[in-house]
Amino acid sequence: MVGGAIMDTPNEICRSYRMAKNKRKQIQIIAELNGVSREEIIKILVRRAGAAVPGRKEEACRYEL
């Protein structure tokens, strides 16, 4: 990967996160696969899906996680 660009689309990232049994670990896995920080993945999740990230006080999740 060049320049830390995200290869998965935001929809793919959200789907991978929603389907994960261990969401906290999945954030790190997605970040490593895409060559970006955990914080960048969290921003995508919150921005795209309004996903509640474990341990974060973000907006309510519109999906049942």
Residue by residue, pLDDT tens for the chain (65 residues) are 444 556 788 888 988 998 999 999 999 999 999 999 999 999 888 887 665 555 655 443 444 33
Residue holding tokens 């896995």? 29
Q: Number of C-alpha atoms within 13 angstroms, CB side, residue 9?
A: 3
Cβ atoms 50, 60 nearer than 8 A: yes
Contact predicate 17/33, CB 8 Å: no
pLDDT at residue 64, rounded to an integer: 34
pTM of the model: 0.66
Taking residue 11's Cβ as centre, other Cβ atoms within 10 Å add up to 11
Q: What local confidence, expressed as pLDDT, does residue 11 receive?
A: 85
Amino acid identity, position 53: V
What is residue 61's predicted lDDT score, i.e. its pLDDT?
Answer: 42
